[in-house]
């Protein structure tokens, strides 16, 4: 009996050490990315139209995302934060910069800022390219987790939200384009009201492909050469595909819920 108790204490101590190690590692990555992020905004902010107010808003967005992520580390299940989550953290920082730009910069959308829009579109294209790398790194290193998958998905959703807002502010489409960015959050809100929508969704190539389409389409709309009516057509197509994807998931979850109750 004493051996079992001692073994349990040793395992509990090891688990506490692993959690502290993970927390320390994650905090170090978060702070390091924040330092590079802030330095980059002050060094190159003018090129993107990021003024002091926009930089402050971006810092707040990054801080909020970081706090939420760090509070959910228990779902990671590994002793190290991992390269995949480092990439996602970098993507979160750039997403926050875009958020600060579209929410707080007086220069955003100014016709004289075509160069800034080209620069912004190029950087966002790079962020979208990084989207598949974090998953690959997690699988390659054996550090896949519910935390990593959710972290990646929420950064994607936030990026799409800011891109749809950018499209609206740039007059590339009407206010309806905001539905692209808000649909994910509307689904989460619906889950709080309708328990049937809280079921598990299996990984889907259709869902991943349509997510890529949303990002690529909205990124293209940042560039000055993509104007209405082409931008309207692109945005409408992206919205139709996204609506179809969410509708398919809702139908699947409702059928699964009815099946579970019938059983």
Q: Is the dihedral of CA 37, 182, 139, 81 positive or negative?
A: positive
Residue-wise pLDDT tens digits, 48-70: 888 899 999 999 999 999 999 99
Residue-wise pLDDT tens digits, 179-220: 999 999 999 999 999 998 988 888 788 888 999 999 999 999
* Model confidence, pTM: 0.90
Percent of the chain with pLDDT over 70: 90
| Statement: residue 74 has pLDDT above 80 | yes
Report the number of distinct structural domains present in the chain.
Answer: 1
Burial class (CB in 10 A: 0-12, 13-18, 19+), 186: exposed
Which residues form the domain of 144?
Answer: 2-262
> What's the CA gap between 97 and 146, in Å, rounded?
26
Position 10 scores a pLDDT of 45
Position 44 scores a pLDDT of 86
Top pLDDT among 2 and 113 is at 113
């Amino acid at each position: 009996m004493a051996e079992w108790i001692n073994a349990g204490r040793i395992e509990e101590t090891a688990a506490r050490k692993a959690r502290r190690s993970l927390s320390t590692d994650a905090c170090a990555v978060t702070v390091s990315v924040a330092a590079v992020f802030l330095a980059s905004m002050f060094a190159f902010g003018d090129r993107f139209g990021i003024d002091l107010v926009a930089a402050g808003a971006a810092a707040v967005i990054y801080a909020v995302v970081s706090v939420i992520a760090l509070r959910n580390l228990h779902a990671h299940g590994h002793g190290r934060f991992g390269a995949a989550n480092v990439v996602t953290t970098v993507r979160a920082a750039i997403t926050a910069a875009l958020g600060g730009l579209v929410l707080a910069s007086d220069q955003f959308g100014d016709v004289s800022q075509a160069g800034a829009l080209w620069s912004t579109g190029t950087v966002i294209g790079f962020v979208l390219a990084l989207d598949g790398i974090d998953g690959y790194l997690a699988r390659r290193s054996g550090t896949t987790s519910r935390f990593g998958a959710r972290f990646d998905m929420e950064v994607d959703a936030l990026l799409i939200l800011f891109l749809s807002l950018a499209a609206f502010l740039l007059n590339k489409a009407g206010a309806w384009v905001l539905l692209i960015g808000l649909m994910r959050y509307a689904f989460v809100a619906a889950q709080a009201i309708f328990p049937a929508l809280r079921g598990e969704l299996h990984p889907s190539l259709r869902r991943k492909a349509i997510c890529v389409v949303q990002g690529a389409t909205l990124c293209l709309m940042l560039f000055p050469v993509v104007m209405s009516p082409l931008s309207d057509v692109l945005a409408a197509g992206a919205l139709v595909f996204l609506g179809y994807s969410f509708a398919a998931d809702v139908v699947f979850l409702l059928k699964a819920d009815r099946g579970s109750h019938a059983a």
